[in-house]
């Protein structure tokens, strides 16, 4: 049996103010082609289908189209909710979906699998929706559920108990932050805060394969426990990281093979760092006009209107940051103290410039201009 593990579609998420729906639509079409080309039997979407608990109307047709296309390609679909999803909205009308599409959002369904058969017998796919301890702890009396670790451990115990009675091979789909994973700074929003909410790897003992979601980058915690990551890049912190899904193959004995299938990257991400003049003219930056660009200009002082100027060369420049190549050491003298020490208006202005420019005051040309303006003002006031 062949299973395609994907997750974190985040339908509706924007990229620095730009919609990603069209890009995601093309990538998901490529994923459907992978299902067809590789004779996939089951597609797992391990949480965070939507980016918001209240998705925009345009998000729903993309999900409906993709799920229908996957089943038309011959695969069964199992979808679980993530911490970004509204379980109620994601699960709405799930009972009216095609028989080969299962959306798992009900915590009480944990331990009840979707069973698919091949020539070797049954494969039980256990979907575990995102379980917020504070919300679900009342569902299981006598069980302490104060952390993600405790909650996921209980959910996996339910899976193992059910599997012990059914027998056969098994796959789990879940959405959590597992111990040993390397998160991308600024990308994954922590499910909760604190080390108690990291799920130990031992919690996943038992199933033949564990398809995890929440982390946006491809990661392998063991041969049988993996993250597929998001199908498109949603942050410059993900630049250069592959996008794709895991193709999992089970034989009669369990896990037989896992290999990575790359998905296309609609628009690569790049961070360019140099002085603003170099970014605008240096030929070494040729070829980035169709990339998402994060520009970091290294001039000593902030430059006027850098975004507009950079977008003239890089139409897809999404963000600009002023990152001076050299920073002056803090002399311990604050702005208020500089102003109090100033002997005249020219020195007050110089203190202000030093404050906003991280220590660099007025240049000689600026001092001359400042003195000229102040002198003109003094003359006008004397004549008044």
pLDDT along the chain (384 residues), means of 10: 96 93 97 97 95 89 94 96 77 66 92 95 95 88 87 95 95 91 62 61 95 93 95 91 96 96 95 96 95 94 93 96 74 63 75 68 81 79 70
**pLDDT at residue 193, rounded to an integer:** 41
Task: For residues 16 and 117, state if they share a domain.
Answer: yes
Is 328 inside any structural domain? no
Task: For residues 48 and 180, state if they share a domain.
Answer: yes
Q: How far is CA 84 from the centre of its chain?
A: 11
Instruction: Check if the beta carbon of residue 4 is closer than 8 Å to that of residue 44.
Output: yes
Task: Mark 327-359 as b/e (b = at least 16 C-beta within 10 Å).
Answer: eeeeeeeeeeebeeeeeeebbebbbbbbbeeee
**pLDDT at residue 349, rounded to an integer:** 78
**pLDDT at residue 240, rounded to an integer:** 85
**pLDDT at residue 194, rounded to an integer:** 39
Task: For residues 107 and 132, state if they share a domain.
Answer: yes
Under DSSP, is residue 24 helix (H, G, I), strand (E, B) or coil?
A: helix
Task: For residues 236 and 141, state if they share a domain.
Answer: yes
Instruction: Give the DSSP letter of residue 357.
Output: T
**pLDDT at residue 2, rounded to an integer:** 98
Is 137 inside any structural domain? yes
Is 105 inside any structural domain? yes
**pLDDT at residue 195, rounded to an integer:** 42
**In which domain, by residue range, is 112 found?**
2-262
- Structural domain tally of the chain? 3
- pTM higher than 0.85 for the full model? no
């Amino acid at each position: 049996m062949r299973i395609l593990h994907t997750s974190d579609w985040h339908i509706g998420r924007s990229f620095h103010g730009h919609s990603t729906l069209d890009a995601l639509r093309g990538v998901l079409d490529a994923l459907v082609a992978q299902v067809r080309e590789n004779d996939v039997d089951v597609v797992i979407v391990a949480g965070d289908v939507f980016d918001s608990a209240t998705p925009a109307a345009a998000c729903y047709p993309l999900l409906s189209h993709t799920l229908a296309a996957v089943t038309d390609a011959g695969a069964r679909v199992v979808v679980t909710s993530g911490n970004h999803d509204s379980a109620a909205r994601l699960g709405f009308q799930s009972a009216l979906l095609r028989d080969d599409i299962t959306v798992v959002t009900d915590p009480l369904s944990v331990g009840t699998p979707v069973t698919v058969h091949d020539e070797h017998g049954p494969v039980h796919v256990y979907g575990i929706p995102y379980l917020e301890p504070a919300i679900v702890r009342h569902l299981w009396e006598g069980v302490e559920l104060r952390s993600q670790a405790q909650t996921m451990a209980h959910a996996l115990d339910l899976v193992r108990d059910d599997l012990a009675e059914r027998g056969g091979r098994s796959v789990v789909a879940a959405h959590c932050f597992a111990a040993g994973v390397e998160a991308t700074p600024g990308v994954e929003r922590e499910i909760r805060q604190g080390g108690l909410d990291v799920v130990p790897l031992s919690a996943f003992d038992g199933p033949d394969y564990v398809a995890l979601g929440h982390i946006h980058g491809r990661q392998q915690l063991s041969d049988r426990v993996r993250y597929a990551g998001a199908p498109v890049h949603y942050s410059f912190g993900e630049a250069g990281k592959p996008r794709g899904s895991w193709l999992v193959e089970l034989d009669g004995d369990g896990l037989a093979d896992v290999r990575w299938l790359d998905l296309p990257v609609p628009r690569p991400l790049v961070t360019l760092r140099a002085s603003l003049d170099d970014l605008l003219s240096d030929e070494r930056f040729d070829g980035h006009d169709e990339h998402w660009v994060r520009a970091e200009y290294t001039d000593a002082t902030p430059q006027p209107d850098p975004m507009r100027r950079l977008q003239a060369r890089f139409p897809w420049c999404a963000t600009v940051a002023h990152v001076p190549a050299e920073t002056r050491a803090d002399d311990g003298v604050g702005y208020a103290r500089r102003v109090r020490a100033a002997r005249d208006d020219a020195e007050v202005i110089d203190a202000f410039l030093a404050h906003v420019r991280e220590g660099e005051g007025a240049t000689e040309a600026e001092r001359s201009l400042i003195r000229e303006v102040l002198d003109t003002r003094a003359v006008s006031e004397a004549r008044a």
